[in-house]
């Protein structure tokens, strides 16, 4: 069985934020006005976390791009009272927007804080409105949304492969953040397929997962910086 | 009061006259207070309308502070609801004779406050229009769904437990004809107080009193589990189930004491809510202030001693950080004040217990605040920036509206139902005095004659 997963090489990440932007435009993530953003209501399915290490002047900046971890043992799925958040056969954790009642229990249960709530009806600036992605549904007011590993791209890739009567190739299905990354810090594929790069990289000595001791079995691996 | 009603009332016994008077006589003060509360309740309703229309953005909630005032009030109100049913059931089962004047007023608190507690999570929903998905797409692994089931069961059981012991009183009102005959004819359900009916009634009450105890315990245990089942620092704790049940009973006792003092003054019930009742309830409050300290100390010491970094962030935020004021106020109002007051016999009076009761109610609200908010704003992942929370006027208005609506409904209930059980008082007078002396005699060794030669 396919298990979609990701490996992010923190040595390669420059913190440019291209993944954030690509994700936002690919997935019709709403733009939040500045006053709302100050309240902590920004939506960002992919977010480059930053951390300053050391004392001035010997400081360095650490960047950690954070998508949904797509846990194999997802705490958010267990607590949802209406099964609006689910994990599919290929390990992708998704959200059924028309079913979600907006109780935000999943958001509280997620140790990685990657579930986002629509506090108001979603808005876009006029200039962006014309470029909404028709493949991704626009969320309504009062529901939770989250990273889906650009699952709509998998559907499109499968259809193309079927039409061309061939197997799905590794490069056929790549999420927007992976595609855009200028330093190729993010690698995506089937964790269980030895031919895919992710399944080799996740056995790298530098590979770790976030909050691994919680037993959530995240499918996003991080290659720790060498220094 | 109209002449004919007064004449009908005058025909009844002393207990009936005293306890039914509020049903037929309403003071101007009552209308004034009820009007004021009604305005606050409508204001709260207006605030909720704004929230539904424009979205939960009208609150002060954000990421990661997903739960705020509504969830705090939810835990708080359901906690208060443990006043009636549980305490009245425990006192009944343990044959505490001093309960007779207290049970009815306590059971009314339960049923009314439970409704207002149960709507809080609905007020908190982003999509209240999809509420029925909880039934259509029920996902039984979710503690929220356990809660829907246990609160539903508790509401049903405590409503029946309020109604059944009220039937003989409803029959008294029906027979006296002092108020809305059609209403009380329906509610009294043909009860004639025959010995068979009385025996059946007592048996049903006996069964209900026992059945309702585990249901009540399950309700607040599961509310504790909503938090405890997540992996959040200082929520993921096995003590939460029992801790919540203990806190619920504690705040419930405090709420009954407040209600008793007000009812006593407003309706002149000094003959029924006697000093001894406040003394006994004050002792219960004292016991629970010590229990509260024990549970809280155990919870915080365990977190502190383990010293896990993510737990410690929340721990210090409460003990010596941004939440130090609500935290230490909680310690003062839940422990120091009630302990200092209630350990002195001279303070276990209506006035003393009122002060202690108000202190505990405030403290228990703060306890729920200190559970919900500090953990919410301190996510486990250390790279995530901490959050902040300041409730908006919409949230505070809805909270004020809920409190006002509850008190208003409770006031209205006292105008339709005797707030002290008439038949149980009479039964106490006519039977229990004798039964209790016989029972006490039964506890003692038989009075055996001393044998000669011993």
Give B174-232 pLDDT, tens digit per residue: 999 888 889 999 999 999 999 999 999 999 999 999 999 999 999 999 999 999 999 99
Confidence of residue B454 (pLDDT cuts 50, 70, 90): low
Percent of chain B with pLDDT over 90: 83
Chain B CB contacts of A80 under 8 Å are 139, 142
Nearest CA in chain A to B144: A81
- CA separation for the pair B280, A153 (Å, rounded): 69
pLDDT for the residue numbered B453: 60
The pLDDT of residue B447: 72
d(CA B373, CA B295): 20
pLDDT of residue B95: 87
At A60-111, the pLDDT tens digits run 888 999 999 999 999 999 999 999 999 999 999 999 999 999 999 999 999 9
**Per-residue model confidence as pLDDT tens digits over A160-185:** 999 999 999 999 999 999 999 999 99
A75 and B137 in contact by Cβ < 8 A? Answer: no
Chain A from 9 to 38: CB within 8 A of any B CB: 36
Q: Report the pLDDT value the prediction gives residue B387, as an integer from 0 to 100.
A: 86
Least Cα distance to B403 among B361, B373, B370, B371 occurs for B361
Chain A residues close to B229, C-beta within 8 Å = 78-79, 109
B63 chain-A contacts, CB cut-off 8 A: 40-42, 107, 113, 116-117
Q: Which residue of B has its CA nearest to A103?
A: B125
Q: Which of A23, A18, A39 is nearest to A152 (CA)?
A: A23
Contact: B67, A40; criterion CB under 8 Å: no
Q: Which residues in chain A have their CB less than 8 angstroms from residue B228's CB?
A: none
Write out residues 365-384 of B within 8 Å (CB-CB) of A: 376, 379-381, 383-384
**What gap in Å lies between CA B199 and CA B205, rounded to an integer?**
10
**Are the beta carbons of A101 and B127 separated by less than 8 Å?**
yes
What does the alpha-carbon distance between residue B6 and residue B9 come to, in Å, rounded to a whole number?
A: 5
Alpha helices for chain A (secondary structure H) = 18-26, 34-38, 75-79, 105-109, 126-129, 151-163, 176-180, 197-201
Q: Is the pLDDT of residue A212 over 60?
A: yes
Nearest Cα neighbor of B87 from B229, B227, B213 is: B213
What residue spans of B347-432 are helical by DSSP H?
350-376, 393-416, 422-427
Q: Given a cut of 80, is residue B452 above it in pLDDT?
A: no
Q: Measured between CB atoms, which of A42, A103, A211 is closest to B381?
A: A211
The average confidence (pLDDT) of chain A is 94
Average pLDDT over residues A21-47: 94
Coil vs helix vs strand at A225: coil
pLDDT tens per residue across span B235-291: 999 999 999 999 999 999 999 999 999 999 999 999 999 999 999 999 999 999 999
Window 106-145 of B, Cβ < 8 Å to A: 121, 124-128, 130-131, 133-134, 136-139, 141-145
Q: What angle do CA B256, B146, B294 make, to 5 degrees?
A: 50
Q: Does A78 contact chain B (CB < 8 Å)?
A: yes
As a whole number of Å, the CA-based R_g of chain A is 18
pLDDT at position B386: 80
Whether the ω angle into residue B324 lies within 30 degrees of 0, i.e. cis, is: no
Q: Residues A71, A218: contact at Cβ < 8 Å?
A: yes
Question: What pTM was estimated for this model as a whole?
Answer: 0.94
Kindly state the average pLDDT of the residues B298-317: 95
Q: Return residues 148-207 of A near B (CB < 8 Å).
A: none
Q: Work out the percent of chain B whose per-residue pLDDT is above 70.
A: 98
Evaluate if residue B450 carries a pLDDT over 80: no
Which residues from B are below 8 Å from A51, CB to CB? Answer: 383
B67:A211 CB<8 A: no
CB contact under 8 A, B62 and A102: no
Range name among A119-133, B269-283, B414-428 with the lowest pLDDT average: A119-133
HSE on the CB side for A97, CA within 13 Å?
14
What is the rounded CA–CA span in Å between residue B127 and residue A141? Answer: 8
Cα B112 to chain centroid, rounded? 9
Q: Could A117 and B121 be called an inter-chain contact, meaning their C-beta atoms sit closer than 8 Å?
A: no
Q: What is the mean pLDDT of residues B88-97?
A: 88
- Across the interface, whether the CB atoms of A109 and B381 are under 8 A apart is answered no
Averaged pLDDT, A124-138: 90
Query: How many Cα atoms sit within 13 Å of B398 on the Cβ side?
Result: 29
Q: Which residue of A8, A32, A33, A40 to mutate against B (max B Cβ within 10 Å)?
A: A40
Find the residue in A nearest to B145 (Cα): A81
Query: Cβ separation of A118 and B137 shorter than 8 Å?
Result: no
Subunit contact A102:B387, Cβ cutoff 8 A: no
Residue among A76, A122, A133, A134 at smallest CA distance from B142? A76
Q: How far apart are CA A174 and CA A180, in angstroms?
A: 10
Give the DSSP letter of residue B133.
Answer: H
Instruction: For residue B342, give every residue at least 6 positions away whose Cβ sits within 8 Å of its Cβ, in sequence order, or none.
Output: B282, B283, B285, B286, B289, B348, B352, B353, B356
Q: Which residues of A touch B379 (CB under 8 A)?
A: 111, 113
pLDDT at A130: 85
């Amino acid at each position: 069985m396919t298990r979609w997963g990701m490996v992010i090489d923190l040595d390669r990440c420059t913190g440019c934020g291209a993944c954030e932007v690509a994700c936002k435009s690919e997935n019709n993530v709403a733009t939040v006005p500045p006053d709302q953003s100050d309240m902590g209501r920004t939506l960002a399915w992919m977010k480059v976390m930053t951390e300053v290490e050391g004392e001035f002047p010997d400081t360095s900046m650490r960047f950690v791009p954070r998508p949904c971890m797509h846990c194999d043992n997802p705490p958010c799925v267990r607590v949802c009272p209406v099964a609006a958040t689910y994990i599919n056969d290929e390990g992708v954790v998704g959200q059924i927007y028309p079913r979600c009642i907006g109780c935000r229990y999943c958001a509280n249960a997620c140790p990685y804080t990657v579930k986002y709530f629509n506090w108001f009806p979603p808005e876009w600036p006029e200039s962006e409105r014309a470029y909404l992605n028709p493949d991704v549904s626009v969320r309504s007011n009062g529901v939770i949304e989250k990273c889906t590993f650009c699952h709509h791209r998998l559907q499109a890739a499968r259809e193309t492969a079927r039409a061309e009567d061939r197997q799905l190739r590794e490069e056929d299905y790549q999420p927007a953040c992976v595609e855009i990354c200028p330093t190729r810090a993010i690698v995506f594929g089937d964790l269980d397929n030895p031919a895919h790069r992710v399944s080799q990289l996740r056995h790298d000595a530098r590979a770790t997962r976030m909050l691994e001791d919680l037993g959530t079995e995240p499918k996003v691996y991080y290659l720790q910086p060498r220094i | 009061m109209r002449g004919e009603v007064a004449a009908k009332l005058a025909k009844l016994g002393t207990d009936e006259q005293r306890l039914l008077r509020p049903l037929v006589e309403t003071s101007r003060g009552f209308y004034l207070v009820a009007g004021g509360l009604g305005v606050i309740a409508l204001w709260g309703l207006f605030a909720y309308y704004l929230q539904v229309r424009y979205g939960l953005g009208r609150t002060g909630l954000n990421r990661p502070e997903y739960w705020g005032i509504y969830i705090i009030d939810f835990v708080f109100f359901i906690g208060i609801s443990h006043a009636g049913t549980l305490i009245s059931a425990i006192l009944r089962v343990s044959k505490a004779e001093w309960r007779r004047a207290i049970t009815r007023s306590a059971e009314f608190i339960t049923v009314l406050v439970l409704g207002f507690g149960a709507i809080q999570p609905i007020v908190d929903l982003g999509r209240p229009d999809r509420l029925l998905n909880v039934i259509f797409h029920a996902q039984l692994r979710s503690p929220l769904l356990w809660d829907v089931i246990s609160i539903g069961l508790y509401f049903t059981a405590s409503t029946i437990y309020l109604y059944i012991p009220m039937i003989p009183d409803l029959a008294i009102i029906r027979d006296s004809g002092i108020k809305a005959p059609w209403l009380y004819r329906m509610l009294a359900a043909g009860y004639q107080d025959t010995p068979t009916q009385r025996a059946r009634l007592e048996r049903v009450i006996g069964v209900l009193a026992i059945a309702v105890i585990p249901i009540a315990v399950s309700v607040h245990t599961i509310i504790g589990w909503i938090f405890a089942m997540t992996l959040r620092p200082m929520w993921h704790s096995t003590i939460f189930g029992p801790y919540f049940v203990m806190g619920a009973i504690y705040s419930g006792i405090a709420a009954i004491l407040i209600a008793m003092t007000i009812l006593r003054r407003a309706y002149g019930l000094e003959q029924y809510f006697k000093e001894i009742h406040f003394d006994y309830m004050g002792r219960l409050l004292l016991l629970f202030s010590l229990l509260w300290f024990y549970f809280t100390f155990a919870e915080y010491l365990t977190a502190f001693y383990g010293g896990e970094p993510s737990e410690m962030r929340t721990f210090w935020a409460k003990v010596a950080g941004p939440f130090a004021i609500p935290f230490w106020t909680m310690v003062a109002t839940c422990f120091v004040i009630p302990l200092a007051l209630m350990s002195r016999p001279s303070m276990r009076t209506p006035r003393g217990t009122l002060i202690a009761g108000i202190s505990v109610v405030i403290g228990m609200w703060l306890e729920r605040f200190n559970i919900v908010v500090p953990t919410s704003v301190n996510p486990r992942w250390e790279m995530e920036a901490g959050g902040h929370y300041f409730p908006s006027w919409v949230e505070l208005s809805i909270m004020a509206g809920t409190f006002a609506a509850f008190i208003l409904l409770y006031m209205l209930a006292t105008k339709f139902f005797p707030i002290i059980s008439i038949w149980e008082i009479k039964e106490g007078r006519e039977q229990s005095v004798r039964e209790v002396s016989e029972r006490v005699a039964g506890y003692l060794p038989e009075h055996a004659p001393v044998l000669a030669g011993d």
